[in-house]
Amino acid sequence: MIRITFRMAAALALALLLAGASSCDWLDDLSRADQDITLAQSDKPHDTEPQVTQNEMDALVAGNSAFALDLYQALRIQDENLFYSPFSISIALAMTYAGAREETELQMGQVLRFSLPQDRLHPAFNALGLELASRGEGAVAERGRRFQLKLANAIWGQRDYTFLPEFLDVLSVHYGAGLRLLDFASDPEASRLTINEWVSRQTEGKIEDLLPPSSITPTTTLVLTNAIYFNAAWHYPFEEKNTTEGAFHLLDQSQVSVPMMHQRESFAYAQGDGYQAVELPYRGKDEATTDVSMVIVLPQAGRFEEVAGSLDAQKVQAILADLQPQAVELALPKFSFEASFNLNDPLGALGMPIAFTGSANFSGMDGTRDLFISDVVHKAFVAVDEAGTEAAAATAVIIGRTSVETPVEVTVDRPFVFLIRDIPTGAILFMGQVVNPAV
């Protein structure tokens, strides 16, 4: 029997392998709160039977996993907690990618690890979402938790702005997302609050204020959003009576006291150079079904940076392949936290900087070269306790226009030089400086 006590370098919750679902709302119906929002839906309905080969599905999942680990390395800071949904980010950026062309499309595809051409990529995302939706059908509640994975997409466009029908068709057919019309130009703050309220609803109130103040401006043209909500009971719940205070060892050699959950059970387990790994399944449709799991990679004391820094898609796949049933005495901390990111710099550093500049080409959205990504924002929440795990995340890709100039702030509140000139001839008539206008 192997005893695993989750000391710091701790619980690197490597991945919530969200491979199951009970609900996948690709087309989120307007609620009462949305009744004043005009929906410019494509006349093409959501395709609920996409024709996708297994090879295409495998290619999509492999690419998404590679991007997930690339992003982990870009986001992680050694001594800070981290939690995000690479799946949510991939979906939001895939919808954006539908309008990318030329070098912008090439860079985005490489960073997001999209190996399928556009006409096969979006059907594959659709098929994956529908596959997830089938996982938890008929799931029963366990300790008050019913297996859930809810996905919702929505796009928000400037009222009276013309988007290409082909772009809207892709989002409707493959992502179930209709275009909701807002007036960013006249009332950016009200638009921001409307989108944030939708995100909160889709995530059961766990993701609030996804779009921070001033993220929506009068030049915002389009916002593409994805929300994901997960709630599931452990297949082998922890007994609350066994939870005790225990030491959690931090990277700086200090320690804190935290509630540690305990149980002895047969889990899938692996160990390698510098780490142990254990897989905790969630309960699915019944006691025999475990489509979803949490995999935890625990570096040896003093080797956190070495192990965490080595994680890529290939290393993770090797760890997962090594997992074998093993009696495990498990001690796992209860934890709950949220994290938020602006992904502009990480995505740019990974290799798609052009999308965030005036040189971007999103002509597949509107037929012009005026659009660029102004911000990619992401927010996530996770809570792990004796009964199971609740997690939520949301991503927004904010598209701005380069053709409408953002005002440059000039506050003349310090010494300055000035001149008075004749414009036709260029002759300088007067020149001076002001160092104290109060004299």
Task: Kindly report, residue by residue over 206-260, the tens digit of the pLDDT.
Answer: 999 999 999 999 999 999 999 999 888 999 999 999 999 998 988 888 888 999 9
**Cα 141 to Cα 147: distance, rounded to the nearest angstrom:** 7
Contact criterion met (CB below 8 Å) for 91 and 395: yes
The predicted structure's pLDDT at residue 9: 40
User: What average pLDDT score do residues 149-178 get?
Assistant: 93
**Cα 37 to Cα 33: distance, rounded to the nearest angstrom:** 9
- Helix (H) or strand (E) segment spanning residue 143: none
Model confidence at 139, in pLDDT bands (50, 70, 90)? Answer: low
Q: In this structure, what are the phi and psi dihedrals at residue 333, rounded to the nearest 5 degrees?
A: -75, 145
Model confidence at 285, in pLDDT bands (50, 70, 90)? Answer: low
Domain boundaries of the chain, sorted by first residue:
2-8+234-334, 16-233+336-401
Pick the CATH number of 16-233+336-401 from 3.30.530.20, 1.10.3720.10, 3.30.497.10, 3.40.50.2000: 3.30.497.10
Q: Any idea what DSSP says for residue 9?
A: S
pLDDT digits (tens, 9 = 90+) for 96-118: 999 999 999 999 999 999 999 99
Same fold, 2-8+234-334 and 16-233+336-401: no
DSSP-based three-state secondary structure for 120: helix
Determine what percent of the chain is predicted with pLDDT higher than 70.
78
Model confidence at 31, in pLDDT bands (50, 70, 90)? Answer: very low
Determine what percent of the chain is predicted with pLDDT higher than 90.
61
**Cα 438 to Cα 81: distance, rounded to the nearest angstrom:** 52
- The superfamily (CATH) of domain 2-8+234-334 is Alpha-1-antitrypsin, domain 1 (2.30.39.10)
Greatest distance between any 2 Cα atoms in the chain: 91
DSSP string, 357-417: STT---HHHHSSS-EEEEEEEEEEEEEE-SSEEEEEEEEEEEEEESSSPPPPP----S-EE
- What integer best gives the mean pLDDT of the chain? 84
Number of Cβ within 10 Å of residue 71's Cβ equals 22
Residue 15 pLDDT > 50: no
Question: First and final CA of the chain: distance in angstroms?
Answer: 85
- Helix (H) or strand (E) segment spanning residue 269: strand 255-272
